[in-house]
A and B are shown apart, each in its own frame.
Chain A
Amino acid sequence: MKLTIKLAWRNLWRNKKRTLVTISSVLFAVLLAILFFSMEQGSYDRMIDTMVRYSTGYIQIQDVYYEDEPSIDNTLLFGEEIHTLLDKHQDAISHYVPRLQYFSLIASENTTRGGMVTGIEPEREVKFNDLREDMVAGDFLEKGDGGVLMAEGLSDIMNLGVGDTLVLLGQGFHGTTAAGKYPVKGIIDLKIPELNNNVIYMSLEAAQWFFGAENRLTALIIMPENPGQTQQLANLFTGELDSQWYNVLTWEELLEDLLTLMKFDIAGTMVLMMILYLVIAFGLFGTILMMMLERQKEFGLLFSLGMKRSLLARVCMLESLFISAIGVIAGIVLAIPVVTWFTYNPIPLTGDMAGAIEDFGFEPVLPFSSDPSVFYSQGLLVMALSVLIGLFPVYKVYRLKITDVKH
């Protein structure tokens, strides 16, 4: 065995040029596959990250019926059981965000329309989604505030500004009538038209009073200290809460629709990746085939001298293993700075729409992911491809007829 390794290693460096060309084939393949995958993963991650960070959070605790029927009657009691749970796991929880959100009529002097009243704890909400950054007029809410924040589009529709008063009329907890008069304290630009034309924020206490839902929430958003532990934490919560009353959901369940739709894009990209692998494989195959043509005479000579085919096959196998390994490792090493560069300097989107896109709160760039899995998954894949193709010389060694060798 030692001899085989020695032979294979020496063969590699006997013809340096040839070896380097083959290694560079593998290296380039790894580099390109990593770049491709990193870009794909980057935009996927960003989309999920945006949704999780600004809308659903990593974990939500809801009333057990709320998911099927998001009505004010199916709200969650933010009581002792939940507080005990939060205290018990306070090391694993970065912060939590309580929300009470339900539909209500919003009326000014002449206009009435429906909208979403969202009760928030201002300090916690800001920690979650930087809501304060989007203020365009007036002041942000404070804890227990009696005023409301209006989304900018809604305030235009209703013709209301800071200091004006609006009337809310809706259905409260267990069929009570909810009604109240509130001063507009600030205007906030929520960017996404659906939200911007519909949302009113008020302090959690005010919302609970308005809906007659004392101490109740529609959802409690929980952000774990380590997002990688989301599933474990959710499992713990599920185990410790009474499943008759509480429902613990992770972002994967909350964003199920979006994730399912994204599968189409992911599958489409997978087809593209397969094409890339195919092109890579053929490049490698061509290189190795050429190498074999070149070495036929050498092999013929070795056989004539009495070398066993099985031994030579093993030498060839080892050679391709060495070449693949060196190529893959060098490719990863080279990819690290390239991907890091693109992670911090993502490719900007140009075109006419770039400006308009920015107005809507998207950053017009193509993000890259530098997650370690990007590197090793692609490295392993190309390694497998390359070893598979490296089996071709082995096959050739067994098939080669000494008498056919030219020169």
Chain B
Amino acid sequence: MKTLIKISWRNIWRNRQRSLTMILAITVGLWGGLFAASIATGLMDQRFKTGVEQEFSHIQVHNPEFLRESHPRHGIANWDTLQNELSANDTVVAFSGRTLVSGMIASANMTQGVNLLGVNPQMEAQTSSLKINLKEGEYFKEDMLNPLLLGKSLADLMNVRIGSRLVITFQDLNNELISTSCRVSGIYQTANSAFDQRNIYLLQTDLNNYLGDTTIVTQAAMLLKDHKLSDDFSDSLQKKHPELNIRTWAEVSPQLAFYNEMGMTMFMIILFIILLALAFGLLNTMLMSVFERVKELGMLMSIGMNKKRVFVMILLETIFLSLSGAASGMAASYLTLLSLKDKGINLAPLGAGSLSEFGFEPVVYPQLEVSFFIFLTIMVVAAAILTGIYPALKALRLNPAEAVKAD
């Protein structure tokens, strides 16, 4: 066995060009697979984060009646208790209690139906990216009477600027229609222009005053340490508060869940396709290398090396080549990922440049979980070794007498 290992190792370096080609093919294949997976994860993560941070949060809590009737009288009953519980829990990174009322907003010549969200500015800034998404003006200007924040698409539609006066109309707790004038303090922009067109943020204290009860909270949104904890945390919270409706981001937005699910499946297929391409490239390269070595192998057999040893020798060569390729592939991927971690890949030259109009950078940040990194490496090495078996078997079938005559 020791001799065989020595022979195969020497064989590899006897024909450098061939061996380097193989190692390069495996390196590029592994690098391609890992890089593709990291880009896919980065793309998915970006979409998920945008959805969660701008719109849905990880978990939303409502009074079940509120979801059906959307009336502010169906608030979260024990908000104070719940609030203390959430602050004490270290799974919850941030949360925001909001007052959500549907109403209308009117400028001099246009009226639109909107959601009015009364928020606590500090809590909201920690929970959603509202403050970060502010494009113009101030985040709830202090000396302004009834300051409001509205989305860019709505501002464009209604032709309003910072400081413009708008009239909002909604029903209070006693079903009386309330109209009051507000001033535009800031204009925000998310990636979803339909969301921007529908949601208007006010100070919770202002809105609750008009509604007739200063303590109402109809919607609580929270961010957790890790989105994977959403299901478990929502279940445990639900057990403690059976009277509340508690939903994870996936239940709040089946659309986001759908894109996640679809993206996941698609990327798995893409990875599979890249792995297939890699395996096939390797298989052909190995086959070719056996064709080239017919004479050499015939010689070895003629001088008495038995078939089993020839098989093991070729297999060992393949394993050495695969491992070298895997090592350099991993190193190349690691360096690539490291260098792109903070900078990301700018997609603007590929036609995504116009995205900056939407106020977000057309950049994808590749990222990969360590477990996936290792899993993929093992897959590639396994694929390489498996593809090495077929050419080795082919070599077994050579007839030594004819093989030595090959040119």
Binding site for B on A (CB under 8 A): 15, 17-18, 21-22, 24-25, 28-29, 32, 35-36, 39, 43, 69-71, 73, 103, 105, 110-116, 156-157, 159, 170-171, 194, 197-198, 257, 260-261, 263-268, 270-272, 275-276, 278-280, 282-287, 289-291, 293-294, 297-298, 347, 349, 351, 353-354, 356-357, 359-360, 362, 364, 366, 407
Q: Which of B21-51 contact A (CB under 8 A)?
A: 21-22, 24-25, 28-29, 32-33, 35-36, 39-40, 43
Complex Cα distance, B33 from A385, in Å, reads 20
Assess whether B362 is in contact with A32, with CB atoms less than 8 Å apart. Answer: no
**B144 in contact (CB, < 8 A):** no
Of the listed stretches B218-226, B282-290, B305-313, name the one at the interface; the rest are far from the partner chain: B282-290
Q: Which of B24, B112, B251, B257 contacts A282 (CB 8 A)?
A: B24
**In the complex with contacts A157-B70, A271-B350, A357-B257, A39-B269 CB distance below 8 A:** yes
Given A18-B288, A69-B110, 16 more contacts at CB 8 Å?
A21-B291, A156-B68, A157-B71, A257-B358, A260-B354, A260-B358, A263-B351, A263-B362, A268-B39, A275-B35, A275-B36, A279-B33, A279-B274, A282-B28, A283-B25, A366-B269
**In the complex with contacts A264-B352, A267-B347, A283-B277 CB distance below 8 A:** yes
Assess whether B258 is in contact with A353, with CB atoms less than 8 Å apart. Answer: yes
**In the complex with contacts A272-B270, A298-B407, A354-B261, A157-B39 CB distance below 8 A:** no
Assess whether A114 is in contact with B261, with CB atoms less than 8 Å apart. Answer: no
**B374 in contact (CB, < 8 A):** no
Assess whether B113 is in contact with A284, with CB atoms less than 8 Å apart. Answer: no
- Number of A-B residue pairs, CB cutoff 8 Å, is 231
Chain B at the A interface: SS class: helix
Assess whether B273 is in contact with A276, with CB atoms less than 8 Å apart. Answer: yes
**In the complex with contacts A43-B266, A103-B113, A260-B354, A290-B261 CB distance below 8 A:** no
Residues on the A chain within 8 Å of B347, using CB:
264, 267-268, 271
Please name the residue on chain B nearest to A175 by beta carbon: B109
| 21 residue pairs from A and B, CB less than 8 Å apart | A28-B276, A35-B273, A43-B262, A112-B171, A114-B113, A114-B114, A260-B358, A264-B352, A267-B352, A271-B364, A279-B29, A290-B285, A290-B292, A294-B291, A297-B407, A349-B262, A353-B250, A353-B257, A353-B261, A356-B257, A360-B258
Complex Cα distance, B101 from A157, in Å, reads 12
CB distance from A146 to the nearest CB of B (A): 24
Residues on the B chain within 8 Å of A265, using CB:
43
Residues on the A chain within 8 Å of B91, using CB:
none
Assess whether A366 is in contact with B266, with CB atoms less than 8 Å apart. Answer: yes
Of the listed stretches B122-130, B190-198, B206-214, B236-244, name the one at the interface; the rest are far from the partner chain: B190-198
Assess whether B175 is in contact with A268, with CB atoms less than 8 Å apart. Answer: no
Residues on the B chain within 8 Å of A407, using CB:
295, 407
Complex Cα distance, B109 from A268, in Å, reads 42
1/0 per residue B89-108: CB within 8 Å of A? 00000000000001110000
Please name the residue on chain B nearest to A70 by beta carbon: B157
CB distance from B107 to the nearest CB of A (A): 10
Complex Cα distance, B255 from A353, in Å, reads 10
Q: Give chain B's interface residue range (CB within 8 Å of chain A).
A: 35 or more
**In the complex with contacts A157-B68, A263-B352, A283-B277, A289-B17 CB distance below 8 A:** yes
Assess whether A111 is in contact with B278, with CB atoms less than 8 Å apart. Answer: no
Complex Cα distance, B355 from A267, in Å, reads 11
Residues on the B chain within 8 Å of A156, using CB:
68-69
Complex Cα distance, B353 from A263, in Å, reads 9
Q: Which of A261, A264, A279, A357 contacts B277 (CB 8 A)?
A: A279
**In the complex with contacts A156-B68, A157-B69, A357-B258, A18-B265 CB distance below 8 A:** no
Q: Which of B102, B260, B282, B407 contacts A113 (CB 8 A)?
A: B102
* 6 residue pairs, one from A and one from B, having the closest CB atoms: A283-B281, A290-B288, A114-B113, A286-B285, A267-B347, A267-B350
1/0 per residue B303-342: CB within 8 Å of A? 0000000000000000000000000000000000000000
